Amino acid sequence: MQKLSEKEYKNEFVTAFDGDDSGDLKPRQTPGVLYSKATPTPVKDPKLVAWSEELAEELGIEKPDEHDVKILGGNLVTPTMYPYAACYAGHQFGNWAGQLGDGRAITLGEWEAPDGNSWELQLKGAGPTPYSRRADGRAVLRSSVREYLMSEAMYYLGVPTTRALSLVTTGEPVLRDMFYNGNAAYEPGAIVMRVSPSFLRFGNFEMPAARKETDNLKKLVDWTIARYYPHIQGEDKVLTWFKEVVERTASLMVEWQRVGFVHGVMNTDNMSVLGLTIDYGPYSFVDDYDPYFTPNTTDLPGRRYAFGRQPSVAYWNLGCLASAIAPLFPGTEELVAALETYGDSYSRKYLAMMGNKLGLDKVKAEDVQLIKNLEETLATIKPDMTIFYQLLMDLPAELAAEQDVVNHFQESFYEELNQEEREKLQKLIKAYQERIKQNTCTREEAVKRMRQANPRFILRNYLLHQAIEELERGENQLFLKLQEAMKDPYSRNFDEFFAKRPDWASKKAGCSMLSCSS
């Protein structure tokens, strides 16, 4: 185990590419470079609120003392660190936004773990960078708690994600207009240390492509492949790499749909080329099942990034990445063909995932209709997604009467079912029971498969909101409980949280809807 302040950091990204080394934090365009030096702005009183013990153990990092907390708060940069903000572009809500970049994230350096793998350590909320535009580069406690907890929660759910090592408060207020409606207020400031093998996103490749900096683009692609996809070799390595990004992105979308996660801001600058969940803003888990649910006020009324649309948006975003790397190819035919593999890849992975959620021994051709009927029924009756699948695991082998079926799933309903909905549910369950009888595996094996695919605990927005309110009052009991529960999401050990979203939470700001400032 090593102290953060005593480590010799690697800086391979900044060594490999041209950057703006001036350290000037003035917002500006930075053509020709892939990053700009950006030293964190010190804060008044950094205090450690949370520390991911398991992640620290994996990375070989000693729990910080008062001196090392200065690093986590942006008050100390060690001699071997080279703090920088990455320059990237992106399509936001379907529109080209031009240069964006790390506006409130500063990468300190690369930490080599005991197993030889390198991890980028990045502070979010550590002050302005050349890409902050008109913003202050800070983060509030509210958004920082959400990022810290959800990063780790997704890891324990088995969803590919960036991680979070620490959460510190800054002792300084930050002015925020939560819903951009003219009601700005001061909130406690905080900083999260994010950890990932890389924070490279689709937008990193869109930027040099848009500026016609083909040499920078080719160098970045080659470096990315050599560093993060070393198994890819040969003359067609760029095409092979893109195919794997397509495959990883399809897998990530399936995992989001499996657990009911809605990202909220699937802009191309929020899509990882490693297939990780990145940038936790106005996210949410689905409570009542609704394919058109979006937690992001900025996404209304179009609902571009709604739950059911995430897989198709990922395909659109991959198209943007394909366009960005197109200058590296003599023609676009092979690139388009590679992009078009997304549909089949996603469908194959999705059906296999749904088979596991339903406890099927394998997904047959005729099961596709059963799965479609399930989705249509859930979209009609809108039960709590997490609770519905948990109750499905405990479904008696014979449950024929309509009232018995309704009673069994009653705990998952937000509204009483009308007669048409009751009949629809009974028909679905009858078809499901008939299909389960055809399994070649035992019921115990089927239920085991379901338990591994269906989380029992999810970090619901109202729980996060309550934990944030407690922290703002100086209390941390719920925060600590959620930290433990999120590490064991498939068990029944935290059934105090096994409940539907309460009525009050469907209308309260920060529980039902969030903004990009969340």
CA distance 292 to 18: 43
Which phi and psi (to 5°) does residue 306 adopt?
Answer: -65, 160
In sign, the C-alpha dihedral spanning 158, 498, 48, 272 is: positive
More confident residue, 518 or 269: 269
DSSP string covering 424-479: HHHHHHHHHHHHHTT-SS-HHHHHHHHHHHS-S----HHHHHHHHHHHHTT--HHH
Residue 460 phi, psi (nearest 5): -70, 150
Residue 246 near residue 272, CB atoms below 8 Å:
no
| H or E segment to which residue 380 belongs | helix 367-381
Is 148 strand, coil or helix?
helix
Range 94-101 contact pairs with CB under 8 angstroms and sequence separation of 24 or more: 94/304, 94/316, 96/210, 97/267, 97/269, 98/210, 99/29, 99/30, 99/131, 99/207, 100/131, 100/203, 100/269, 101/30, 101/36, 101/129, 101/130, 101/131
CB 280, CB 375: distance < 8 Å: no
Residue 346 belongs to what H/E stretch?
A: helix 341-358
What DSSP string describes 228-239? Answer: H-TT--STTHHH
Q: What is the pLDDT of residue 405?
A: 95
Record the tokens describing residue 253, joined without a space: 């979308």
Is the pLDDT assigned to residue 383 strictly greater than 80? yes
What mean pLDDT comes out for the span 279-295? 96
Instruction: Show me where the domains of the chain are located.
Output: 12-199, 203-352, 372-438, 461-506
Cα distance between residue 263 and residue 296, in whole Å: 9
Amino acid sitting at position 7: K
The candidate with the shortest Cα–Cα distance to 205, out of 269, 252, 160, is 269
Please, what is the Cα angle at 94 between 178 and 274, to 5 degrees?
85
The model carries a pTM of 0.97
| Displacement of CA 401 from its chain's centroid (Å) | 41
**Whether pLDDT at 161 is above 70:** yes
Q: Are 375 and 257 in contact (CB under 8 A)?
A: no
At residue 502, the 3 state secondary structure works out as: coil
The tally of CA atoms less than 13 A away on the side-chain side of residue 184 is 5
Size of the chain in residues: 518
- Do 253 and 314 meet the contact criterion of CB atoms below 8 Å apart? yes
Strand partners, 261: 285
**Catalytic residue IDs:** 269
DSSP-assigned states of every residue in 34-86: SEEE-PPPP-S--EEEEE-HHHHHHHTBPPP-HHHHHHHTTS---TT---EEE
SS3 state at 111: strand
Query: What pLDDT, in 10s, does the model give residues 260-284?
Result: 999 999 999 999 999 999 999 999 9
The closest of 517, 515, 501 to 286, measured between CA atoms, is 501
Q: What is the pLDDT of residues 420-469, one digit of tens each?
A: 999 999 999 999 999 999 999 999 999 999 999 999 999 999 999 999 99
**CA–CA distance, 279 with 270 (Å, rounded to integer):** 6
- Tell me what pLDDT residue 515 has: 74
Computed on alpha carbons and rounded to an integer, the radius of gyration of the chain in Å comes to: 24
Whole-number pLDDT of residue 377: 98
Q: Which helix (H) or strand (E) holds 155?
A: helix 141-157
- Residues paired with 140 in a beta bridge: 189
Burial group, residue 6, by CB count within 10 angstroms (0-12, 13-18, 19+): exposed
Which residues, in sequence order, are bridge partners of residue 10?
110
Q: Look over the chain and give the mean of its residue pLDDT values, rounded to a whole number.
A: 96
Rounded distance, CA 218 to CA 480, Å?
Answer: 46
How many C-beta atoms lie closer than 10 Å to residue 240's C-beta? 16
User: What values do phi and psi take at 337, rounded to 5?
Assistant: -60, -40
The pair of structure tokens assigned to 184 is 């700005």
Which pLDDT tens digit goes with each residue over 205-236? 999 999 999 999 999 999 999 999 999 999 99
Q: Is the dihedral of CA 230, 232, 233, 237 positive or negative?
A: negative
Cα–Cα nearest to 156, from 500, 485, 494, 448: 485
The whole-angstrom separation of Cα 217 and Cα 89 is 13
- Percentage of the chain surpassing pLDDT 70? 99
pLDDT, mean of residues 347-370: 97
Give the pLDDT band (50/70/90) at residue 490: very high
pLDDT at residue 513 tops 80: no
Residue 511 pLDDT class (50, 70, 90 cuts)? confident
The pLDDT of residue 514 is 82
pLDDT at 6: 97
Rounding to the nearest 10 degrees, give the CA dihedral for residues 60, 66, 70, 72. Answer: 40
Closest C-alpha among 337, 327, 270, 275 to residue 103: 270
- Per the listing, tokens 């900083």 go with 191
Q: How far apart are CA 126 and CA 192, in angstroms?
A: 9
pLDDT tens digits for 231-240? Answer: 999 999 999 9
Q: Give the pair of three-digit tokens for residue 432.
A: 């499901």
What mean pLDDT comes out for the span 148-158? 98
Q: Which helix (H) or strand (E) holds 92?
A: strand 89-92
Residue 517's pLDDT is what? 61
